[in-house]
Structure 1
Amino acid sequence: MTGPGDPPEGTPESAPGGGDDEYRSVVFDESFVRAAPLQEFSAQERIGDHTPAVRSRGGPRRRERGSPQQAVILVLLIAVAFATAVYMGIQRPYQKPTTRAAEPLRSTLVPLTPRGEVPGGAAADLYASSPARKFRIGAEGITLPAVERTAHFSDDQVREALGTAKEFLVHSALDADTLAGGDARAVRMLIDPDQLGQFDASLSRPADDGRHAATGWVMRFDPERVSLAKEPVRVRGSMRVTEVNSTALEVVADHTYVYAVRRAAAHAPRTDTPATGAAGTGDGRDLAEPVTVPGTGPHSLFTVRREARLRFDREDLRDHHVEVVESALQAGPQACATDAATYLQPLFAGQRAPADASAGTNPYATGRPTDSLCGVLAPDAQPSGTGRR
């Protein structure tokens, strides 16, 4: 029976409160049903031998966690990757890129023999009467050119190269300890570490092989044979800097050094040395002029022209090092046959160069070529107007 105001057929299903509205809160849509983790077996399936009434559908929660087998596989993959990385690190360890190794030094020395007797006198007079009178004193003679940046190096880097080059020249050619045959520690501190082995071998075991001459690195005299004057060394020359490539600068230093030397006390000739004999020159005069006081006597000038090629890579510029690539010397007066690998061997005042006693150069010989180079010291290079003492 309907109430007053209700249609005879009852409330339409489409009207509010009609039809299935009262069940709408318990009706599940299709997406909810698909997401359910459990599914009830159908009637046909329950006819079979199924104890449970439902079955798992592997819902999203289960898929997110993954199976234990997947976890084991992931752990194994990580372990294999780690083991591979360790193995490759042992077999092929990472090496920091290194710069080009420094070249070994190549050196030559050409002795300059005098045509006549070596002039002698007081050191100041010898300097004043020779071309060295226009030279500067000591390190003042090693002047630096104007600093200009290059394509790949700044002004500061060029300035550093020139400054280190001058420091090397001063310590290797003007330092008193170095000249007297000392250990040249100040020079060693400047040498590129790649060249230290060659440097040490050259000073401890000098050899005339173009690689291990001590005089290729430093100017030095035998202190038991040669005494240097108190008069300072005279120097003149030039320096120029160029960019070898994007990684290195090169400084070429071409200087002439003039030393005043005399015979050391340990090798001073005795006053009773005969005027003639086996050590004579053949003209009735002994090579060693007698002096009355051992260790004193006339000085003579010994001149060395050295062209040094010095290289600086970026590590050298940073660490204040230098690579001595080449050293070419011309030195005299000295005898052609003299071995000057260990010390420079000047002839003293009043001496003449003996006949060349070298074996010469054999172009048919095998192995390393042996050089027999010798030059003549021009008369104009000797002091003039000095007495022979």
Structure 2
Amino acid sequence: MAGRGNPPEGTPDDASGGDDEYREDYRSVVFDESFIKAARLQEFSARERMEDEEHAAVRNRAYAPSGESADPGLETTYGRGSITASRQGIVLVLLIVLAFGTAIYMGIRNPYQAPPEPPAEPMRNSLLPLAPRDEVPGATPADLFKHSPAAQFRTGADGVTLPPARRMRHFSESQVLSALTAAKEYIVTSSLDPAVLSGNSVRDVRIMLDPAQQEQFDQSMDHPRNDGRHSATGWMVRFDPSKTTLADPRIRVNGTLTVQEAGADALEVVADHVFVYALRATEGGDGKKAEEKSSLFTVRREVRFQIDREDLRRQQLSVQQVSMRAGPLPCSADMTDALAPLMAGERAKDDGAAGTDPYARGRSSASLCGVLSTSSQPSPAARKDD
């Protein structure tokens, strides 16, 4: 049999140079071991073809580096490749899941959240008492109203009228109407509700305020003081029930509501109204005689509101500023907790306003005082003529 590396038909007779020359001449056509190992296809053996006639003539071989046999580890090599591919797929899926999970987590716990809304500004208030020059006129509520500037005023909530609601640059017509309605509700509750006027109720006023102002409101109710921010009478009109009571629940009202934008995210509503109350002293008793000792008390109240989009959603508002002029009142009385009107037949004491010390540090406890015009009082002459 021909040796390894010799041609099948043996060495040619006329070959010269011996085996070395022979190998050199046929080196280009002889398949050495490295060439065979590097082959991608392998022919099935005769026995394999006899056992299975449907066998293909050749099969794929796994590539093995030079010097290593591919056949013994053929199945193992394929198995490892499959396992490696499976592991890579699992790792890829895990990475994708991790990426999505991280995105969701960062969306929920985003360290760059939008800054919170700035807190509502504190309410500021001022009260100018108006002292009468003469004795406070007294009569029945009907006579007093008939002969006063309030004769043509509407009664109660009917006097707090809404202007036409129109669309604005940043707010729809319905949003403007909602802001006006909230302001009217506050004015009616804080100025006309008998329970509020008597000092028996504060809750109905409180729940209409922006939550950021409710703490200031509570402090004003618990510890009222004359600092321009914590006066109970700044939030509402109320009287000391031990001294004053309503002689007629039909309060006369006249005024206006206006609205404008306070930027892209808020509306400003201004309520400017005159309220006229018929009052009498609590210890004056009941009946016709007590009714004839009624007197009128007039409050000019301007309330400035700010209503942002969140307030519109909650139907609440922020009270920015309250300015009041009211009389007849004594100049020196403390009005931070409740108003103390002068009753029929009383005069303002000649004490004037409290003195002011310009050298004293801090906020002055003194208040300004005005004079209540005679023309704003009911006319005694007209009352007698009737």
TM-score by length of 1: 0.73
Match of 1:334 among 329, 346, 359: 329
How much does 1:118 deviate? 1.0
Conserved 8 A contact 1:38-1:54:
no
The CA distance in 2 between the partners of 1:197 and 1:223, in whole Å, is: 25
Match of 2:212 among 180, 194, 198: 194
Q: Which ranges in structure 1 are unaligned for 5 or more consecutive residues? A: 1-27, 270-290
One-letter amino acid of the counterpart of residue 235, structure 2: W
The CA distance in 1 between the partners of 2:151 and 2:64, in whole Å, is: 119
Q: 2:255 matched to 1:264?
A: no
**Matching residue of 1:62:** 81
Q: Which ranges in structure 2 are unaligned for 5 or more consecutive residues? A: 1-35, 42-58
One-letter amino acid of the counterpart of residue 243, structure 2: R
Q: 2:149 matched to 1:125?
A: no
**Matching residue of 1:175:** 193
The CA distance in 1 between the partners of 2:278 and 2:267, in whole Å, is: 34
One-letter amino acid of the counterpart of residue 62, structure 1: G
Match of 2:173 among 131, 155, 173: 155
The CA distance in 1 between the partners of 2:262 and 2:130, in whole Å, is: 32
* Change beyond 3 A, Cα 1:241–1:167: same
How much does 1:126 deviate? 0.9
* Change beyond 3 A, Cα 1:60–1:356: farther
Q: What SS does structure 1 have at the residue aligned with 2:296? A: strand
Q: 2:224 matched to 1:206?
A: yes
Conserved 8 A contact 1:262-1:297:
no
One-letter amino acid of the counterpart of residue 378, structure 1: S
After superposition, give the CA deviation of every residue in 1:267-318 in whole Å (9 maximum; x if it has no partner).
x59xxxxxxxxxxxxxxxxxxxxx9999665111110000000111111111
* Change beyond 3 A, Cα 1:316–1:39: closer
* Change beyond 3 A, Cα 1:192–1:352: same
Conserved 8 A contact 2:194-2:249:
no
| % identical aligned pairs | 43
Indicate the RMSD between aligned Cα atoms, in angstroms.
Answer: 4.0
How much does 1:373 deviate? 1.1
The CA distance in 1 between the partners of 2:131 and 2:205, in whole Å, is: 29
One-letter amino acid of the counterpart of residue 246, structure 1: A
The CA distance in 1 between the partners of 2:364 and 2:355, in whole Å, is: 11
**Count of aligned pairs:** 330
After superposition, give the CA deviation of every residue in 1:224-283 in whole Å (9 maximum; x if it has no partner).
000111251111111110011110011100000001111112xx59xxxxxxxxxxxxxx
The CA distance in 2 between the partners of 1:371 and 1:114, in whole Å, is: 19
Q: What SS does structure 2 have at the residue aligned with 1:230? A: strand
Conserved 8 A contact 2:61-2:71:
no
Conserved 8 A contact 1:198-1:212:
yes
TM-score by length of 2: 0.73
The CA distance in 2 between the partners of 1:54 and 1:129, in whole Å, is: 123
* Change beyond 3 A, Cα 1:32–1:308: farther
Pairing of 1:312-323 with structure 2 (within 5 A)? 312-323=307-318
Conserved 8 A contact 1:224-1:264:
yes
**Matching residue of 1:347:** 342
How much does 1:54 deviate? 6.8
**Matching residue of 1:304:** 299
After superposition, give the CA deviation of every residue in 1:143-174 in whole Å (9 maximum; x if it has no partner).
11111111011111111111111111111101
**Matching residue of 2:29:** none
How much does 1:99 deviate? 3.0
One-letter amino acid of the counterpart of residue 137, structure 2: P
Conserved 8 A contact 1:300-1:349:
yes
Pairing of 1:231-270 with structure 2 (within 5 A)? 232-265=250-283, 268=284
The CA distance in 2 between the partners of 1:169 and 1:40, in whole Å, is: 93
One-letter amino acid of the counterpart of residue 114, structure 1: P
Whose helix proportion is higher, 1 or 2?
Answer: 2
Q: What SS does structure 2 have at the residue aligned with 1:229? A: strand
The structure number with the bigger radius of gyration is 2
The CA distance in 2 between the partners of 1:360 and 1:329, in whole Å, is: 21
How much does 1:361 deviate? 2.6
The CA distance in 2 between the partners of 1:213 and 1:37, in whole Å, is: 97
**Matching residue of 1:288:** none
The CA distance in 1 between the partners of 2:193 and 2:311, in whole Å, is: 22
Q: What SS does structure 2 have at the residue aligned with 1:233? A: strand
The structure whose RCO (Cα within 8 Å, separation 6+) is larger is 1
Match of 1:185 among 203, 219, 223: 203
The CA distance in 1 between the partners of 2:116 and 2:102, in whole Å, is: 29
* Change beyond 3 A, Cα 1:51–1:147: closer
The CA distance in 1 between the partners of 2:69 and 2:94, in whole Å, is: 37
Match of 2:372 among 355, 374, 377: 377
How much does 1:185 deviate? 2.3
Match of 1:363 among 358, 361, 366: 358
One-letter amino acid of the counterpart of residue 166, structure 2: E
* Change beyond 3 A, Cα 1:32–1:114: farther
One-letter amino acid of the counterpart of residue 339, structure 2: L
